[in-house]
Amino acid sequence: MAGSGTNRRILSELTRLQGLSTNSDVKFLLDKSPADDPSSSLILGRILPKSNIYNQAAFQIEIKLLPEYPFKAPELRFITPIYHPNVDDKGKICVDILNANDGFKPTTPLTDVVKAVTNLIDNPNIDHALSPEIAAEYTQNKSTFERKALDMVKKHGLPRQ
């Protein structure tokens, strides 16, 4: 990791992320961070969506802080498999706030990133789907989509505590 200013920023971000477990409309449970292992640049935590089906489990995400952070957006992916039009089979997610041109600035807090990801899970954006097949199913055959999503939640979902 970079200098002490960056380390202070990361520690501040971790404190804010921990606050999402109790003091927020969007819930995030911090599982592992650079505070646990200073040689690591990974943050692991679980989002707790509110929407039907996804509200039955938690989903672990990995936030990778690049050496250029906070001047470059972190990389984010789902560790827990999830059946969703905006998440591909490798766990990648396309969320506007992580785009340098559209949303990410050096002042963007990681809490905003987590909130944007959770919001996208709760409110799929079909226009920016990473899985066209799942997006088509979501719009054209919602009952099949919901059955497949629920099967995946039951099979892979994590505890919400």
Pair of tokens at residue 131: 């899985």
d(CA 47, CA 58): 6
H helical segments located in the chain:
4-19, 110-122, 132-140, 142-156
Which of 35, 44, 94, 130 is the catalytic position? 94
Annotated catalytic, 140?
no
- φ, ψ of residue 77 in degrees (nearest 5): -150, 155
- Is 59 in contact with 47 (CB distance < 8 Å)? yes
| Catalytic machinery residues | 94
